[in-house]
Amino acid sequence: MKSREGSVIPKIFINIFLSVFSVCCLIPFLIVVSSSFTEEQMIIENGYSIFPRDFTLLAYKYIMADPTQIARAYGVTIVVTLIGTVVSLIISSCLAYVLSRKDFPHRGKISLYLFFTMLFNGGLVPSYIIVAQVLNLKDNIFALILPYLIIPFYVLLLRTYFSEIPFSLVESAKIEGASEINVLFKIILPLSLPAMATVGLFIVLQYWNDWWLALLYIDNANLNPLQYMLYLIMQNLNAMRLSPLQGQISTAALPGENARMAMAVLAIGPIIFAFMFVQKYFVSGLTVGAVKG
């Protein structure tokens, strides 16, 4: 009894710490939202604030006047994320399952091969040559999907989870006449839902937040994903600031401070919901691969 009462004080500290931490996480987000509703001149003169000083929808009207750019970027991102996540989950789980089977003779070598790429990789130039010149995927939507199909870390996560499922389940299924494919899709995967959901979320985020592949392989503005569009908006300003040619470069064509924030708000949009849907698996999934007592 006593020991339980004694643990109240640390709990208070933990709660205070976590509350402060979550407020710190929220404030930048609030500032972004509030700036998107503020008049541009107000931002220039007074800086950012947590609550909009004089409320206006001008920035959103400005973006929505020609929503094709943002709509197209959304389209690209959604297509890439959907296709990428589904295909990546299938391939990763197949690979992880094979590696988790103790009766597969070459699992050590293949695991090493996989693990090796986590530590060392070819680097930028060879991978660019492969994608752009060998596979000829420049300005192709698959350049945004293929490079992330197998991420070794996620495969290893899944493998660890799969190998915790008793092998006797597989054996009994086989005695009943199930094929290997059936064993994987009907028995192993349903049992691994938390792991699949967690890894799935990681992959979704990977694809959703990616701008790097677009920077490398996409020249055609119609194929720009959302994050890359945002990245360009921010980077364009920075690059112009560094330019010694300031006098000649017109910044008039750039979106104002509030419009940029509004774009950021619009871009955050749906990915927040992804968290909500997978949250219930998320906690159990996070212990994937952790040592259990």
Among residue numbers 202 through 221, which ones bind other proteins (CB under 8 A)?
215-216, 219-221
* 268 scored as a contact of other proteins (CB under 8 A): no
Alpha-helical runs (H) found in 183-256:
189-191, 193-208, 212-217, 226-242
Q: What is the CA radius of gyration of the chain?
A: 24
* 251 scored as a contact of other proteins (CB under 8 A): yes
Instruction: Return d(Cα 266, Cα 49) in angstroms, integer.
Output: 19
Nearer to other proteins, 25 or 125 (CB): 125
Q: Which residues contact 115 (CB under 8 A, 6 or more apart)?
A: 152, 156
> Do 118 and 155 contact (CB within 8 A), yes or no?
no
Of 8-16, 48-56, 196-204, 245-253, the window that binds other proteins (rule: CB under 8 A) is 245-253
Q: Site for other proteins (CB under 8 A): which residue of 239, 270, 275, 279?
A: 239
Among residue numbers 86 through 115, which ones bind other proteins (CB under 8 A)?
none
Tokens of 33: 């939202």
Tokens of 114: 């996989």
* 44 scored as a contact of other proteins (CB under 8 A): yes
Region for residue 47 given its phi and psi (left: phi exceeds 0; alpha: psi -120 to 50; beta: otherwise)? left
Nearer to other proteins, 52 or 256 (CB): 256
Among residue numbers 113 through 132, which ones bind other proteins (CB under 8 A)?
120, 122, 124-126, 128-129, 132
What residues line the site for other proteins (CB under 8 A)? 44-45, 65-66, 120, 122, 124-126, 128-129, 132-133, 215-216, 219-221, 231-232, 234-236, 238-253
